[in-house]
Structure 1
């Protein structure tokens, strides 16, 4: 490293140090924004879990059937994501506590900042990184698993429809574990990590479309067969799925694209110390924060709706809930 610095002019050294400090400052700001988003999500989850449990306890026992697994799942997701959020918020403290203006010897390969992975574009196998990644994948596995289960409820009469989403679900989970074990480094493994995000995004889009399609189809049939019955709950069920699924799909695709763009700047020769790279990294961190937020919030919204008694827990409840108290005329068999 000494030979490298000796070949640099004072102007080049000053330029490198300037860009490094701007990069680290931008990194600190975006890390703070990322933590703020996740802490907001943690508070929102806390409200939904506590309020949902309160409503459940106040509900008549005959109406509680099938809701307990959703209540338990909601608290597991909240506990896991909250611990990951706290861990993510605490992890940067040692770096911020010893933060000083960067020197050229810290920037180049072999320097302290480069070896810590802050400037090299790599990810270190620190306990905080591994633990946080495992917790996030666990939350994602639970949320996607719930969506797959609800697809099974809706499509249990045509089970072959579930083959593709089931395969994508298993592939996404397996790829996530593989990435943690092998600690992604370099463009090829970054592409593999993004494949995992794309797979999870595609799964959520596919699962949402499958559920929305059948709910909409049933609503249309019911509105024709039973025109006097109010079917607004159908519209609400479709709306909550679309509202929770679309943001997750959008930020999933955006996260993958931005990570690929950032991973292309892997060395100083690729202008990693430029303001453009700082903007790319900052944007990727913020978008990743929103992606993680909606990965957590999307299943929680569905669970919250179930605990409020506004969504189904089994197939028979789909029609009975949606047509309850709107007359005594039987539901046509072709709706089922």
Structure 2
């Protein structure tokens, strides 16, 4: 017990004596996928027809839902609609069209099929006046069943409790889909991504049929998940905002202590004035930490170039080792910012 108390005290001491403090900030990341500005008309195709080769899985689905392969058909259509909704609400494109009745392009596979050939893609774009094609390359639902039999007490016809068999069915449905984006002038897909989601439902009854009939809205829930998958997939073309963590120095002299308290109240500019005054400190350790903190405050204010300059001086002139790692972070952010600005201005290279 004494050892545990000692270890707890030591951990608290080390934490309280840390030279840095953690902050979090929101940064904007560029879209995962960039398309040229001249891509204005896009088509969405479904290559994912239910395959007769699904065998047992398709039969299980037919028994469970009385829908069989229709569940895959409806689910894939819901996924296409979700993607179309996301692309249309982004206001990025002049036209977003779901293309039906393209059996020559459909494949009944359970994984990524061969990519569209360049000839197929160019013919598709020429026929429908498209600048890009979004493809649902495959879509599949597979259900696993776990059955249990127990006993349940019910009231009989004479009011006497009797025990009857109780059947329980646990269904786990995996929804898998794969997506691609094509440009007619590029020989390979410019993006490829896959998703796997799960739906778990249960039912019970005095026999397996009643247990199955007690499961409600399974199809509707599959369609909702599929629609959401398509909607989320469309976000790959949009910038995203994420939270990141940064450490800044709170120890060295009284200016760092006061700066910490100001920062904790949101007075970052007042804290920066204290840190900037310490950048000329005669001790390299203090000056280096002050330069590092100035890099942090400039990143908070959105000036990544200035942040990079302060961080470089913190390491190159004053030997602050934490600054070297931070320099790499800022270099990645500068590259991401350049890509983001290019995306937002519509100057994505063609």
Q: TM-score, normalised by structure 2?
A: 0.23
More helix per residue: 1
More strand per residue: 2
Which of structures 1 and 2 has the bigger CA Rg? Answer: 2
